Each structure stands twice: as C-alpha cells, then as structure tokens.
Amino acid sequence: RVQENSLLTSKGELSKLGIYGKKSWNEIVVGVSKIIPGQTLLTEMSADSRGEIMIRGNTQGRNQLTNFLESINKIQGFYGELGYANEMVLKDKQLVQFQIKIRQKAASR
C-alpha cells in the first residue's frame, strides 16, 4: 500500500511535467510499478526538468537490484542507470540501499 500510494503521488507529479519526446512519463511510472521485485521498497520517486526520473529504495540483495535494473531496461523507450548501491545492516538484516536514474532513449534516426 505504501508503494502504491507513493507511485500514485509520483504519477501525479510526473504528469505535471507533461510529455517529453512524445512519450508520456505515466507510461514509465506504470511500467516500474509492475516490475518492483518482492522485498524491494521504493522510498522516493521524483523527476526533474530534464525529464529524468530518480528512484531510491531498499532491497534485500544485489541480485534483486540487478534484476530490477534489467527489468527497467526492458521497458520500451527507457533505460536505467545505477547511481549507487550501498550495503548496510539493520537489526541483523542485510539491505542494499540504491538509487536508479531512468532516462528516455534517444530517438533513432
């Protein structure tokens, strides 16, 4: 529910940015919401004036993060770049805190 509410809020904020490169950012928000791996929590999703989306969150392992990034890169017209992935231990649980930047692919000529 927390992820769902966060994504709905982000979707509203992103829709204010309009359409970049003839592609709606709503498409990427919906796409990302469908591929969030289990045991992964998105803590922040924001966009800037250049039309880039920043996702921050926590997951239980690097494999889940790698799979998430690969899934993002399969969304047509977009690609993700890993900003950072920091391992940390909280109450005997290992977590990976991450940041991914999502950009539109340049139109091919």
- Per residue in 59-90, pLDDT (tens digit) is 998 999 999 999 999 988 889 999 999 999 88
The answer to pTM > 0.95 is: no
- Residue 47 scores a pLDDT above 60: yes
Q: Which two tokens stand for residue 38?
A: 């289990």
Q: In one letter, which amino acid is 80? A: G
Q: What is the pLDDT of residue 2?
A: 55
Q: How far is CA 57 from the centre of its chain?
A: 9
How many percent of the chain have pLDDT more than 70? 74
Going by pLDDT thresholds of 50, 70 and 90, the confidence category of residue 34 is confident
Across 11-31, average pLDDT: 59
CA 69 – CA 107 distance, rounded (Å): 21
